[in-house]
Amino acid sequence: MSLPDGFLDDLRTRISIADVVGRKVSWDARKTNAGKGDYWAPCPFHQEKTASFHVDDRKGFYYCFGCHAKGDALGFVRETENLGFMEAVKLLAGEAGMPVPDSDPRAAEREAKRATLVDVMEAAVQHYKLNLSTAAAQGARAYLEQRGLSAAIIEHFEIGFAPNANTLSEHLMAKGFEAAKIIEAGLSIKSDRGGPPYDRFRGRIIFPIRDQRGRAIAFGGRSLDPDARAKYLNSPETPLFDKGRSLYNFGPARAAAGKAGALIVAEGYMDVIALHQAGFAHAVAPLGTAITAEQLQLMWRAHPEPVITLDGDTAGIRAAMRLVDVALPLLEPGKSLRFVLMPEGLDPDDLIKSAGASAMQDLLENARPMVDILWQRETEGQVFDSPERKALLDKNLRSLLDKITDFSIKSHYGQEIKNRRQTLFFPQRSRKSSFTPWKKNTPQNALPDTKNSLLASANTGPEAEARVRESAILLGCLNHPDLAEKLESQLERLPYLCPDLRQIGHALLAELPEAEGQDFNHILSGRLGFDVIDKLLSIRQVASNPHLRRDADKEMAERALSADIERQFAIIGILEETSDARQEITSDPDEGLTWRLEQARAAKHQVESEAFNDGENEGDESHLSQRLQDYLDGKL
C-alpha cells in the first residue's frame, strides 16, 4: 500500500518517540533530561545493565551505542512488536488520531515527482547563492552589510540573490530540468501571452526555506525596491511546500532548542537571522501568515513553551490576540505559550543593535504567560462602571474558557481569571470577611460584647443559625449552577461564619466555570475529598426546603437564593456593628452607642421586611429575629 505525499512526515511530527519507546524501557533518571528531549535507558534490543540506548525526542530518532540499533518511531514499533510497515503505521496513526488514508496506487509516482522537485529546488539554492557574488548583487550585498550580517551568517543561512531578469529559468533548463517542473516548484510563472516562463523572484534577496528533514522546499524574497507592491514574497504552495505547516529555520532551531531549553518565535526571516547572530540559534518564524494550529504543534515538538516575540505596535498586539484564540483549544498540561511584546518601534534586530543581546535575554526571561494576553485583550481600554458592562465581560470570558478542552487547564484558567476579576471589580475588598467566625463548641471565642448573651451558646449561637443559612445558599448553588453564575459577584463577597462552609464556598467559585452541563457536586466533591451535598443535606431545615431542590421552579429558586444571600449580608452586618461597639457596652451608653445599635436594629427590621419567607425556614428565621431583637432591646 502506498501512502499519500507527506503523510509519514505528518505522522512523525505528531507523535513523540519518547512516548513510544517509554512503553518498553525504564529511563535512567541520572542521565535523562526530559526538558531537552534527551532520554537514556538500557537497550531493549540486547542485554545490558548500563544506559547506552539514547532517544532524541526532538529529532525523532533512537540510537544504541552498544549494539548500534537505530531508527525512528516506526522502526522501533516494527522491531519491538514484530509488525509490518503498514501495521506499524496504523498503530501509531491511531495513537496520533490520524486516519490512515486509502491505498493510492499513484502515491509512489507522486513521491518520485517530489524527489525531482527537490532536485530543482536544490539547484535553485546554489544558483541564487552564486548570484550574490556578482556585480548585479552590489545593492543586495550593501543591504546585508547595513543590516550587520557577517559572511559566516550569510553562508549559514544560504542567502542568495535574484537579479531583475529571468536568469534562474534559463539556468535550470540549461541543466536539463523541464520548464513544467520549474513552474510546479513555484520558481517560475507561465506567461499569459504565450511567451516563455518568467522568474517569480526578481530583484530580491533570497532566503531558502527548508523542512525539518533539511530539504529545500520554498524561498522567501525581500525586495530591494522601496516601491515594490510586496516587500516580502514567498513561494506559492506546491507539492513540497505548505506554508501553514512550515516554519523558517525549524530544523536547526529544533536542535538548538534542546540545548538552550527554549524556542523563540520571531516575525520574519531577518529577525531569525539577527537572533542567531546574537547567540539565539533557537529561533523560528512563520512564513508570512498568522500562526496556524499546525505550526503550533511543530513548535511544541521543539519546546513545550515557545516564546512568541512580536513587535510592540498595534499589528503585533493584534497578532498576539489572534494567536490566543488558536492556542486555547490546543492547550495541554505543560504545553502553552509565553509572549514578549517588543518596545514600540523596535524589532529583535533593532533591540540587539541598540541595547545588546543582554537586553533581548532580559525580555525573554520576563515573557508574559498567555493568560496575561487574554486578560489584556478583554479589559484594556474599557471601563466597567455598570452591571451590564461587567456582565458582558463575564460572558466573553466564559466563552473563551469554553474553548479550552483540557479539564485541569480550564479549571486553573478559571481560577486565575476569577482572581483578576476580583481585583478589577473589588480592588478594596478581600474574599475573607473582616468578621472573625466563632469556632465550633468554643463559646469563649465569641465577641466580648456577646459572651453573656444567648447568641454565644455553642448550640444556638450565630454559627448554628448561620450554618442553616450558609448551607442553604451552597445547596441552592450546587443544584442551580446557572443561578450561581448569575449571582457570582455577590457570592465572591459573601461572608461566612462557618469555616468548613467557607471552604466549600471558595471551592464552588473556583470550579464554577466547569459547572455547566456537568455533575457539579461530583466536580466539587472530587476537589474537596468528601460528598458536598451529603454534608449540606445533613441539616434538616436545608434538606426539607423545597426551593433548593434541583426540580424547584427556577424563579422561586432564584428568589430564595437571593433572599438568603441578602439575609447573610445583613445579619453579619448586625454582628459586626455590635462588635465594633464592644468597648462601649461595659460603660454607660452614650448617644453614639445608642445610635449605632438603633441602626443595627433597623438593619434587622429591613431583613425581616424584605426577606423571602420560604415556609420551611420561617420558624428558624423568626427564632433568630426574636433573639436578635431581645439582645438589641436589652443593650438599648
Q: What is the pLDDT of residues 549-578, one digit of tens each?
A: 888 888 888 888 888 888 888 777 777 666
CATH superfamily of this structure's domain 7-96: Zinc finger, CHC2-typedomain (3.90.580.10)
**Averaged pLDDT, 604-622:** 47
> CATH number of the domain at 107-241, please?
3.90.980.10
Q: What is the dihedral of CA 418, 421, 423, 425, to 10 degrees?
A: -140
Report pLDDT for 450. Answer: 33
**Averaged pLDDT, 595-613:** 54
**Averaged pLDDT, 17-33:** 89
- Stretch(es) of the chain classified as CATH 3.90.980.10: 107-241
Q: pTM (2 decimals)?
A: 0.60
- How far apart CA 636 and CA 633 sit, in angstroms, is 5
- Report the percentage of the chain scoring pLDDT > 90: 31
- Stretch(es) of the chain classified as CATH 3.40.1360.10: 245-376
How far is residue 398 from each of residues 30, 424, 442, 517, measured CA to CA in Å? 44, 16, 42, 14
Contacts of 114 (CB under 8 A, 6+ apart): 5, 239, 240
Report pLDDT for 461. Answer: 54
How far is residue 598 from each of residues 453, 594, 604, measured CA to CA in Å? 18, 6, 10
Judging by beta carbons within 10 Å of its beta carbon (0-12, 13-18, 19+), is residue 295 exposed, middle or buried?
buried
Report pLDDT for 368. Answer: 94
- How far apart CA 476 and CA 491 sit, in angstroms, is 12
Distance of CA 597 to the CA centre of its chain: 52
Spatial strand order of the sheet with 160-162 comes to 160-162, 204-210, 216-223, 232-234
Over residues 432-480, the pLDDT tens digits come to: 444 333 333 333 333 333 333 333 333 445 567 788 899 999 999 888 8
How far is residue 626 from each of residues 455, 462, 547, 574, 598, measured CA to CA in Å? 11, 13, 24, 14, 15
- Stretch(es) of the chain classified as CATH 3.90.580.10: 7-96
Distance of CA 73 to the CA centre of its chain: 28
- Say whether 31 sits in a helix, a strand or coil: coil
> CATH number of the domain at 245-376, please?
3.40.1360.10
